[in-house]
Structure 1
Amino acid sequence: MDWAMGGMDPLALWAAMAVTLFAGFVKGAVGFAMPLIMVSAFNGFLPPEMAVAGLILPTLVTNLLQATRQGMAAAIGSVVAYRRFLIGTVVFIVVSAPFLTVIPRVAYLLLLGVPVTAFAAAQLAGVPLALPLRHRARAEWGLGIVGGLIGGVSGIWGPPLLVYLLSVGAEKAETVRVQGVVFLIGAVALLVAHLRTGVADAESLLFSAALVVPALLGMVVGYRVQDRLDQARFRRLTQALLVLTGLNLVRQALL
């Protein structure tokens, strides 16, 4: 495994693989949270640039599988249906990526963590937050742009998408497929953007490649859990996980 270490301590590599295995399991079960879990944990023992670079290839590969699990036609249909969110996310990932080493980490963690926690907690408490149909296009553009702005500097653009899908009441299969499609296209944009910034270089991409296998292993086990969840339990599990990830982001910012 020397080729994957990139000069890092072997314990750090094994810790990163263990985190990725767990993140892959959660992604298989609910369709998201892999970058959230990886970045949250990696920031404790890796430089920010290596933490973001490490999640690029596992995110790319797992989302390719997730997006096409129900067939290519369904994946293409999701691209068309959620094109506004996709365009906003991709464009603003490219715009914000160069600011990874400039924007204070506290700022983007709080900007992401506080609204996500508040939204998911309100939904868990039974507060109706469904978007009226006439506002959906604007919400899709707005949340896509927010996801891209935050995603370029943090590698995380999932929470704004989850907020939108929960707001419009998307059912389980659609939720998981759309996440896969949006995350896949976003991951390609993130890779291209950070090839330009230098964050994704030969050393960091070898490290990222080493994390693909544990990500896939975890995802396969997580799929078994997802297939057994009914719509109501899936929705509540998604909301609860959003609360936990949002609180963790706020905790990291405050510490």
Structure 2
Amino acid sequence: MTVDPRFLPVVAFITFVVAGFVKGVTGMGLPTVAMGLLGALLSPLAAAGLLLAPSLVTNIWQLATGPGFGPLFRRFRGMLAAIVIGTSAGSAMLASGDTDATTKALGGALVAYAGYTLFVRPIRVPETWERRLSPAVGLATGLVTGATGVFVIPAVPYLQSLDLGKDDLVQSLGLSFTVSTVALAAALVWRDAFRPDNLALSLLSVVPALAGMWLGQRIRDRVSPRTFRLFFLLGLALLGAEMLLRP
């Protein structure tokens, strides 16, 4: 499915209001929802270009919510460096112009994330394994980020498996997402795959994303976040499956 360029601003506005709303209610999911919805209507490369500014702003906001930036940066610097390397390598697929392959890869990433979150029990990674696992997780996350524009697999499950307090977990996710967003933007520019005409629309999309977050936060106490998250993940899985099976 393609979108008439005349309607692209409307599509972007609705997408980022919805994605921001999900993030406001559940505390996560804006880039994943945005890539899922936009990827169903545009090429993943075009969707990733629109995602960059709203993702960067909301992730920096999330990163700034806690007091532990310095210690967390030092703790995960190996993973963050590997994310940059992996994103640079993986971006070759996103920039290739093969929309069939990138759409199916994006669908697979969405199904994998939703399936893991829905059905796999939380695990705990011993602290003694962290030093060796972090760079490997960062490299895998970067490869997925570069290929699909989705930067939650496997970084989110991995960070959730560590013995982090609530504030440290939120801030470490924001740190990972921010580095992934910057690395993806740099990789697309380096490969001459970033369309400058999408920059203005990406910047304008920050406003509906923040408005959606504000609305989601306002009604968070009126809905069950657990039930909302369940339906959100089921919808994400169906969206990803449609991309995988699309002829």
Both proteins in one fold, TM over 0.5: yes
The number of residue pairs the alignment matches comes to 240
1:34 counterpart = 2:30: yes
Aligned with residue 19 of structure 2, among 19, 23, 27: 23
Residues 3-45 of structure 1 deviation map (CA, whole Å, 9 limit, x = unaligned): xxxx953323212111101111222333432121111111232
Amino acid across the alignment from 2:242: R
**Where does structure 2 lack aligned partners over 5 or more consecutive residues?**
none
Could you say what secondary structure the match of 1:159 adopts? coil
- 1:48 equivalent to 2:44? Answer yes
Match status 1:61 vs 2:53:
no
Superposed displacement of residue 46, structure 1: 2.1
Q: 1:130 — aligned with what?
A: 124
Deviation at 1:186, TM superposition (A): 1.5
* SS of equivalent to 1:199: coil
Match of 1:3 in 2: none
Secondary structure of 2:154 counterpart: helix
Per-residue CA deviations over 1:163-222 (Å, capped at 9, x if unaligned) read 112222534322221111111122111111111222323201112112111112122333
Overall identity of the aligned pairs, in %: 25
Conserved in 1, the CA contact under 8 Å of 2:95 and 2:191?
no
Question: Deviation at 1:153?
Answer: 2.0
Q: How far does residue 100 in structure 1 lie from its aligned partner after superposition?
A: 1.1
- Relative distance call for 1:224 and 1:85 in structure 2 (3 A) is farther
Q: 1:158 aligns to what SS in structure 2? A: coil
Deviation at 1:239, TM superposition (A): 7.6
Equivalent residue runs for 1:136-155 within 5 Å:
136-155=130-149
Which residue is 2:216 aligned to?
222
Question: CA offsets per residue over residues 127-177 of structure 1, 9 Å max, x none?
Answer: 452223333333322221111001012211123122112222534322221
Aligned to 1:249: 240
What is the rounded CA distance, in whole Å, between the counterparts of 1:222 and 1:173 in structure 2?
Answer: 20
Superposed, which structure 2 residues align to 1:225-240 within 5 Å? none
Paired letter, 1:16: A
Partner residue, 2:178: 184
Instruction: Calculate the aligned-residue CA RMSD, in Å.
Output: 2.9
Answer whether contact 1:58 1:215 (CA < 8 A) is retained: yes
- How many angstroms apart in 2 are the aligned matches of 1:113 and 1:135? 27
Indicate whether 1:203 and 2:197 are aligned.
yes
Q: Which amino acid aligns with 1:198?
A: D
1:156 corresponds to which of 144, 147, 150:
150
Q: Which runs of 5+ in 1 are unaligned?
A: 1-6
In the alignment, is the contact (CA less than 8 A) between 2:87 and 2:184 conserved in 1? yes
**Contact 1:19–1:38 under 8 Å retained in 2:** yes
- Residue by residue, what CA displacement relative to the aligned partner does 1:74-128 show, whole Å, maximum 9, x if unpaired? 22332222223212211111122132143622552365245434432334xxx45
Residue 234 of structure 1 deviates from its aligned partner by 6.9
TM-score using structure 2 length: 0.82
2:6 corresponding residue in structure 1: 10
Within a 5 Å distance, the mapping from 1:87-126 to structure 2 comes to: 87-102=81-96, 104-105=101-102, 108-109=105-106, 111-123=108-120
Structure 1 Cα separation of the partners of residues 238 and 5 of structure 2:
29
Partners of 2:55 and 2:181 within 8 A in 1 = yes
* 1:237 shift after superposition: 7.0
Within the candidate set 64, 68, 73, 1:74 is matched to 68
Normalised by the size of structure 1, how large is the TM-score?
Answer: 0.80
